[in-house]
Amino acid sequence: MNTGIDRISFYTSNYFVDLKTLAGARSVDADKYYLGIGQEKMGIPPPDEDVVTLGASAAYPLAQDGELADVELLLFATESGIDQSKAAGIYVHGLLDMPARCRVVELKQACYSATAGLQLAIAFVARNPGKKALVIASDVARYELGSPGEATQGCGAVALLVSSDPRLVAIEPESGYHTEDVMDFWRPNYRSEALVDGKYSTMVYIHTLLETWKQYARESGRSLADFDRFCYHIPFTKMAEKAHQKLTRKLKAPVGKEELETLLAESLRYSRITGNCYAGSMYVGLVSLLDTSEEDLSGKRIGFYSYGSGCVGEFFGGVVRPGYRDFLYADKHRNLLANRAELTYQQYEDIFNYGVPSDGGEYVFPQYKTGPFRFSGISQHKREYESLVD
Ligand code: HMG
């Protein structure tokens, strides 16, 4: 029985900063960002957008299409959690008016957690064919102003509907996975910005890729030539390209520029203009690949490398299903990305410093442009959300 990704929907903030603007403010050559790390824009959430509204907005098209009726498991993957106790997915469950017979849990392991969610969801639908699971990966990537990580910020959410007999991508059972206790990137509970040992993190990312590939190749008997495309975790697009070059060099089958372009470029398009979406990043890559590839990818095998600092990595494969194009939200994604508003540097800094009040008072947040839901305020330490749709 095939199991895997049945539908996939992506959402990001309506606001972005062009990295040329950031480069100007930081007195850095813009090519360091555009070419050096391969990023053009970073998505910035306004004060009335958070991981709940991003996640609910990503899943909303599925609700509109009546796809959530059979969902009995909602896994919310994030490393920008808003509560130490209550799962952010419960707010989403409420906003989307989902059936009460549903297990809802939040998952954390840096950017890896959505892949943990996908694998758990696959086990659930394999045991309960006919039922569905919803995995939502939603994050705001936030580093200190002026830090090396700042240009890799971003935000966004991906909603993955997981089922048996999936319409988009059948996920194959073989997997290589690797855990190692390292401090390359972390965010203590008392901080709202991540801490990172940047260069070291890029080395651990690659080391973990090599380990997971080794296992995967042993278990599956496949070689890199068995893959038509790759989706990497994308902290910044250059990282994915460098990692693939490193892997192919290690396997003594180095790829040239053109081949690299064919294997990876389509998966990097959305991330280049939204920035790191942490848990969702690799799946933003998948949406970008499926939405923008001119070639019909039916029957093609995709290699996935998921990485979460700290660290856990996993390499696995999936095969694109025939007729997948009829079940994408490509036009919605294109419109969303084309119609965002650009922030000036000062607007960016003001939004960055806005913060969520923590004194238990009554606050109403300014109304910015959001998707169907907004984080409208906070009262007695309780977040309040507003639905802008019927
Ligand atoms: P940096 O140290 O300021 O940058 O920040 P740099 O000096 O290394 O420059 C970057 C590249 O731009 C270099 O290329 C420069 O040569 C080039 P490379 O040597 O690497 O090939 N460059 C230029 N190119 C063209 N024209 C120019 C120019 N100037 C310089 N004028 C760093 C880089 C990655 C450290 C920083 O962005 C950072 O700290 N990022 C955050 C951490 C990160 O993203 N790590 C990735 C791996 S860990 C991961 O993926 C997990 C994560 O998503 C979190 C999670 O799991 O939850 C982060």
Domain layout of the chain by residue ranges: 3-387
- Kindly tell me the number of DSSP H helices and DSSP E strands found in the chain: 11, 17
**Ligand 1 midpoint to CA 37 (Å):** 6
Angle formed at CA 107 by CA 131 and CA 373, multiple of 5 degrees: 75
pLDDT of residue 104: 98
pLDDT of residue 341: 98
Residue 268, token pair as written in the block: 């990097």
Smallest CA-to-CA distance from 351 within 372, 366, 336, 373 is with 366
DSSP 208-229: HHHHHHHHHHHHH---GGG-SE
pLDDT of residue 213: 98
Is 32 exposed, middle or buried, given 0-12, 13-18 or 19+ CB atoms closer than 10 A?
Answer: middle
37, 42, 305: which to mutate for ligand 1, most atoms within 8 A of CB? 37
pLDDT of residue 295: 98
DSSP 29-91: -HHIIIIII---EEE---TT--HHHHHHHHHHHHHHTTTTTTEEEEEEE-SS-S-SSS-HHHH
Q: How far apart are CA 379 and CA 384, in angstroms?
A: 7
Smallest CA-to-CA distance from 314 within 238, 209, 230, 223 is with 209
Angle between helices 257-274 and 330-338 (to 10 degrees): 60
Residue 181, token pair as written in the block: 């206790």
Q: Is 232 in the pocket of ligand 1 (CB under 6 A)?
A: no
80, 202, 208: which to mutate for ligand 1, most atoms within 8 A of CB? 202
For the chain, residues with pLDDT lower than 70 are none
Q: How many CB atoms lie within 10 A of CB 312?
A: 21
3-class SS of residue 190: coil
Q: How far apart are CA 267 and CA 254, in angstroms?
A: 20
Contact criterion met (CB below 8 Å) for 306 and 112 = yes
* Tokens 């991981």 found at: 51
Residue 129 backbone phi and psi in degrees, to 5? -60, 140
Q: Is 79 in the pocket of ligand 1 (CB under 6 A)?
A: yes
Q: How far apart are CA 104 and CA 304, in angstroms?
A: 26
| Distance from chain centroid for Cα 141 | 10
Smallest CA-to-CA distance from 11 within 99, 96, 82, 94 is with 96
Q: Which residues are catalytic?
A: 79, 111, 233
Smallest CA-to-CA distance from 157 within 133, 186, 134 is with 134
pLDDT of residue 29: 98
Q: What is the pTM of this model?
A: 0.98
**Ligand 1 midpoint to CA 198 (Å):** 7
Contact criterion met (CB below 8 Å) for 150 and 17 = no
Topology given in CATH for the domain delimited by 3-387: Peroxisomal Thiolase; Chain A, domain 1 (3.40.47)
pLDDT of residue 390: 76
Contacts of 317 by beta carbon, 8 Å cutoff, 6+ apart:
171, 172, 174, 216, 220, 222, 226, 227, 301, 302, 303, 304
